[in-house]
């Protein structure tokens, strides 16, 4: 039997009835009228729940259960309304609107479940009702009406933008045709692209309103929770072949959408540059969503194999029994799982797209040509140096042998073997030391490393305020090298060199020491740069910005900072007297690595030189007198030519 016309009629009536209820609620209906709407929305839930049971196993018993449940609801559901007929009550509160939104979302899912029961004769999991185009057709029509009607009646600008992005994102779902693999893959890519756009929008919205005392912080967090659930649902599908978590995310997302469109923005406000705990939670949740998205894209491109065993067999460092070596295996497995995705090319592409766009937005905000050029080079370096050359270029297989391509420490692209030692590893360090001596460590820490792209976009650049407000960040202020900085740097370098020696001796068959089957330097690289670096990055609200520079966590950074400090690069001022008269001392406030002693050095010496200065240039940008200039080998050559 062709059920399509019947399903179309029922879905259309369902959509029309639901839209009418939403219309009444949005108009501001209160008191007994709102309770009646709750009653009607609940009746749809009970009706479709009982019908799905009946059609899955038609019998006199299920028919009686369906009739009894609907009759009971019709009678007992009216009791609260009858008790309030002659009373003035404020029935429309946030929790009653939330209850109404939940009933709308669940009733659509149960409608889909009823259709499934009619076609298949099986009940299955109630969340299966989400996995069909009938559910999404009704859901999107209700959400679209709610949004359009809310816009006509006036809607907060931030919430409006969020909902405008969320509507197509939730509507393009891989479970609409869950049996079509091509549709699933295409919708996942489109879904991920829209989510990247939405994430950039959230970042920019928060940044734009950073000077306001109150922002839509809770609304932003709610949206990120929905995104994380969606990506988590797709990730679970690739692991277990089940869409249930994603189905739940659709119901949760629709509930949130209708609730916020009716109720308006959250009453819980805040400001991200003043609330370290909220900011940490937001960054952590964003990273979880991005990590899951990176994994999903890895599955979609075949980088990771589907299924739990396929996933574990695809890990870059492998998987061992978590109980191995008194639990050390569990730590190794966690780092292996974590680092496999953070080190994957699609995670880097996704992160680069988000952070690169924030950096491009910032180019339009800076005024100095030097800073515009550096930011443009920084974004270009990420695209070329981090993404294209090592993964897509014709020379990708030769990267380990090319100086300066073997980045971020010994053993990055493999073990310390004789074939890589010269010119790959040694050539990289020599070449990079020369560049840092001539141009300062900015050539790495402000241009070619992945860190500056992530730190210097609009939103993340504004987090440098935590250098002054966080407990640990305050301890890194000024250019003075603290004792604990030296301890961290020594520990990092000792471990790096020690593991490099072991790796080299392994390669020449003197030793045979591995870490759960992995070369020591490969494991250490994954630990430092695919795991620990992200921990430091997420902890900006507590550790301050650019902790890799201010606290010595990055071996590659400290190496280049050392030669940068020994070399030509420094900041100079045209007139030290202007610094004496300057009332703002804005240069110290703007420095993203917390060099608060900039003004004092400018006044006493007319320049500032420190290995902690990585030449970002925010101080020159902030100077109200346009007094700060950059000095490196270019300036040195100009001076020689001028004297000549």
**For 569-589, how does the pLDDT look when each residue is reduced to its tens digit (9 = 90+)?**
999 999 999 999 999 999 999
Cα distance between residue 618 and residue 127, in whole Å: 52
Q: Does residue 584 share a domain with residue 514?
A: no
Q: Are 97 and 263 in contact (CB under 8 A)?
A: yes
Asked if residue 281 is part of any domain, the answer here is: no
pLDDT tens digit sequence for 18-68: 999 999 998 888 888 888 999 999 999 999 999 988 888 888 898 898 899
Q: Does residue 521 share a domain with residue 434?
A: yes
pLDDT at 27: 86
pLDDT at 32: 83
pLDDT tens digit sequence for 608-644: 999 999 999 999 999 999 999 999 999 999 998 988 7
Q: Does residue 88 share a domain with residue 233?
A: yes
Q: Does residue 402 share a domain with residue 364?
A: yes
Cα distance between residue 139 and residue 146, in whole Å: 11
pLDDT tens digit sequence for 91-109: 788 899 999 999 999 999 9
Asked if residue 42 is part of any domain, the answer here is: yes
Read off the tokens for 143: 């959400």
Task: Give exposure, 290-300, as e/b (b: 16+ Cβ within 10 Å).
Answer: bbbbbbbbbbb
Asked if residue 324 is part of any domain, the answer here is: no
Residue 404, phi-psi category: left (phi > 0), alpha (psi -120 to 50), beta (remainder)? left
pLDDT tens digit sequence for 299-331: 999 999 999 999 999 999 999 989 888 889 999
* Spans of the chain below 50 pLDDT: none
Q: Does residue 545 share a domain with residue 576?
A: no
Q: Does residue 639 share a domain with residue 516?
A: no
Last-in-domain residue among 562, 594, 610: 562
Last-in-domain residue among 544, 562, 580: 562
Domain that holds residue 570: 565-643
pLDDT at 110: 92
Residue where the block lists tokens 């270019």 = 634
pLDDT at 33: 85
pLDDT at 407: 63
pLDDT at 154: 83
pLDDT at 414: 82
pLDDT at 571: 96
Q: Domains in the chain: how many in total?
A: 3
Q: Does residue 578 share a domain with residue 488?
A: no
Q: Does residue 574 share a domain with residue 493?
A: no
pLDDT at 206: 96
Asked if residue 280 is part of any domain, the answer here is: no
pLDDT at 408: 59
pLDDT at 58: 87
Degrees to nearest 5, angle at CA 424 with 418 and 427: 115
SS3 630: strand
Last-in-domain residue among 274, 291, 316: 274
Q: Does residue 552 share a domain with residue 586?
A: no
SS3 325: coil
What does DSSP say about strands 607-608 and 628-631: parallel, antiparallel, or unpaired? unpaired
Main-chain dihedrals φ then ψ at residue 104, nearest 5 degrees: -65, -50
pLDDT at 521: 92
Asked if residue 301 is part of any domain, the answer here is: no
Q: Does residue 451 share a domain with residue 589?
A: no
Q: Does residue 174 share a domain with residue 136?
A: yes
Residue where the block lists tokens 């030391």 = 433
Asked if residue 310 is part of any domain, the answer here is: no
Which of 569, 564, 582, 575 lies closest to 628, judged by CA? 575
Asked if residue 306 is part of any domain, the answer here is: no
pLDDT at 454: 95
The CA–CA distances, whole Å, from 363 to 101, 108, 202, 383 equal 42, 46, 19, 16
Main-chain dihedrals φ then ψ at residue 518, nearest 5 degrees: -115, 145
Task: Name 628's bridge partners.
Answer: 573
Asked if residue 320 is part of any domain, the answer here is: no
Q: Does residue 237 share a domain with residue 96?
A: yes
């Amino acid at each position: 039997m062709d059920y399509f016309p019947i399903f179309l009629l029922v879905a259309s009536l369902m959509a029309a009835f639901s839209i009418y209820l939403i219309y009444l609620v949005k108009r501001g209906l209160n008191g007994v009228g709102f309770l009646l709407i709750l009653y009607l929305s609940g009746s749809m839930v009970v009706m479709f729940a009982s019908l799905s049971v009946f059609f899955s196993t038609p019998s006199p018993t299920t028919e009686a259960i369906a009739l009894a449940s609907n009759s009971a609801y019709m009678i007992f559901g009216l009791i609260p309304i009858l008790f309030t007929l002659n009373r003035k009550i404020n029935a429309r509160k946030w929790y009653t609107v939330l209850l109404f939104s939940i009933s709308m979302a669940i009733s659509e899912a149960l409608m889909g479940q009823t259709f499934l029961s009619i076609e298949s004769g099986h009940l299955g999991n109630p969340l299966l009702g989400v996995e069909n185009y009938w559910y999404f057709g009704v859901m999107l029509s209700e959400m679209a009406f709610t949004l359009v009607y809310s816009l006509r009646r006036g809607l907060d600008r931030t919430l409006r933008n969020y909902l405008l992005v969320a509507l197509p994102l939730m509507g393009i779902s891989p479970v609409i045709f869950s049996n079509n693999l091509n549709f699933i893959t295409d919708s996942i890519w489109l879904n991920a692209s829209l989510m990247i756009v939405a994430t950039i929008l959230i970042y920019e919205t928060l940044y734009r309103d950073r000077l306001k005392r109150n922002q839509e912080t809770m609304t932003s967090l709610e949206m990120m929770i929905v995104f994380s659930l969606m990506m988590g649902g797709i990730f679970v599908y690739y692991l277990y072949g089940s869409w249930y978590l994603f189905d739940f995310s659709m119901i949760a997302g629709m509930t949130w959408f209708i609730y916020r469109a009716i109720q308006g923005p959250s009453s819980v406000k805040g400001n991200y540059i003043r609330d370290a705990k909220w900011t940490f939670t937001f960054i952590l949740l964003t990273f979880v969503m991005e990590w899951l998205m990176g994994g999903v894209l890895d599955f979609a491109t075949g980088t990771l194999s589907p299924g739990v065993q396929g996933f574990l067999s695809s890990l870059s460092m492998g998987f061992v029994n978590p109980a191995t070596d008194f639990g050390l295996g569990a730590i190794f497995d966690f780092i292996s799982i974590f680092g496999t995705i953070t080190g994957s090319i699609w995670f880097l592409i996704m992160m680069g797209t988000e952070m690169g766009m924030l950096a491009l937005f910032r180019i339009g905000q800076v005024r100095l040509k030097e800073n515009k050029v550096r930011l443009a080079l920084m974004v270009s370096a990420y695209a070329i140096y981090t993404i294209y050359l090592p993964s897509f270029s014709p020379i990708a297989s030769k990267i380990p042998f090319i100086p300066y391509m073997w980045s971020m420490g010994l053993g990055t692209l493999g073990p310390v073997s004789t074939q890589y030692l010269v010119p790959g590893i040694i050539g990289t360090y020599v070449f990079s030391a020369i560049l840092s001596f001539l141009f300062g460590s900015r050539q790495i820490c402000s241009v070619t490393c992945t860190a500056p792209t992530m730190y210097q976009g609009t939103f993340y650049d504004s987090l440098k305020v935590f250098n002054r407000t966080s407990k640990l960040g305050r301890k890194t202020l000024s250019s003075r090298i603290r004792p604990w900085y030296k301890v961290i740097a020594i520990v990092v370098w000792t471990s790096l060199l020690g593991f490099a020696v072991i790796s080299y001796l392994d390669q020449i068959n003197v030793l045979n020491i591995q870490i759960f089957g992995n070369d020591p330097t490969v494991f250490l690289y994954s630990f430092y740069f695919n795991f620990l670096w992200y921990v430091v990055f997420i902890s900006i609200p507590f550790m301050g910005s650019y902790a890799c520079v201010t606290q010595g966590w990055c071996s590659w950074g400290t190496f280049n900072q050392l030669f940068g400090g020994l070399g030509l690069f420094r900041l100079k001022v045209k007139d030290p007297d202007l610094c004496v008269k300057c009332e703002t001392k804005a240069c110290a406030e703007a420095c993203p690595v917390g060099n608060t002693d900039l003004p004092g050095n400018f006044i006493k010496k007319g320049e500032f030189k420190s290995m902690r200065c990585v030449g970002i240039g925010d101080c020159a940008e902030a100077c109200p007198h346009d007094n700060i200039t950059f000095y490196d080998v270019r300036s040195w050559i100009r001076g020689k030519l001028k004297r000549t």
